[in-house]
């Protein structure tokens, strides 16, 4: 069974700094998707970034980028020039291609300090 581990329950950084959130996963599959979701205090779940395992190039979305290390089964999220609005819970998630289950980590609560 696939598992997703986020080893940092909570983090705080100053506004404008860069922060990296860690995620590791365990799978024997070769084809899968990885996601980072953001959950602000509003409780809404928002997709931040997606990575297909067959792509070697790391995904980027504006200030958000990932470091995808397939061999190490690592999928970290880097937030550059952090903003107060980035304060949220961040979840790493895994979906095997062709499967229907999406497995989430326990989340990292990120505080951006003014």
Residue numbers at the binding site for another protein (CB under 8 A):
6, 9, 33, 35, 43-45, 47, 50, 52, 91, 93, 95, 98, 100-107
Using the structure block, give the residue that is written with the tokens 């581990």. Answer: 5
Which is nearer to another protein, 13 or 103 (by Cβ)? 103
Q: Which letter does DSSP use for residue 59 in this model? A: P
Cα–Cα dist 64/58, whole Å: 11
Can you read off the two tokens belonging to residue 108? Answer: 């990292």
Sign of CA dihedral 33, 39, 43, 44: negative
C-beta of 81: minimal distance to another protein in Å? 25
Which is nearer to another protein, 12 or 18 (by Cβ)? 12
Angle among Cα 36, 16, 111 to the nearest 5 degrees reads 55
C-beta of 58: minimal distance to another protein in Å? 17
Which is nearer to another protein, 50 or 70 (by Cβ)? 50
Cα–Cα dist 26/39, whole Å: 23
Which is nearer to another protein, 76 or 107 (by Cβ)? 107
């Amino acid at each position: 069974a696939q598992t997703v581990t986020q080893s940092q329950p909570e983090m705080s950084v100053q506004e404008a700094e860069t922060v990296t959130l860690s995620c590791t996963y365990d799978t024997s599959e070769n084809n899968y998707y990885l996601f980072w979701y953001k959950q602000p205090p509003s409780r809404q779940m928002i997709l931040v970034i997606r990575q297909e395992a067959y792509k070697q190039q790391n995904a980027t979305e504006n200030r958000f980028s990932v470091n995808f290390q397939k061999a190490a089964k690592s999928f970290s999220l880097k937030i550059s020039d952090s903003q107060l609005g980035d304060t949220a819970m961040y979840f790493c998630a895994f979906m095997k291609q062709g499967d229907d289950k999406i497995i989430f980590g326990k989340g990292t609560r990120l505080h951006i300090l003014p």
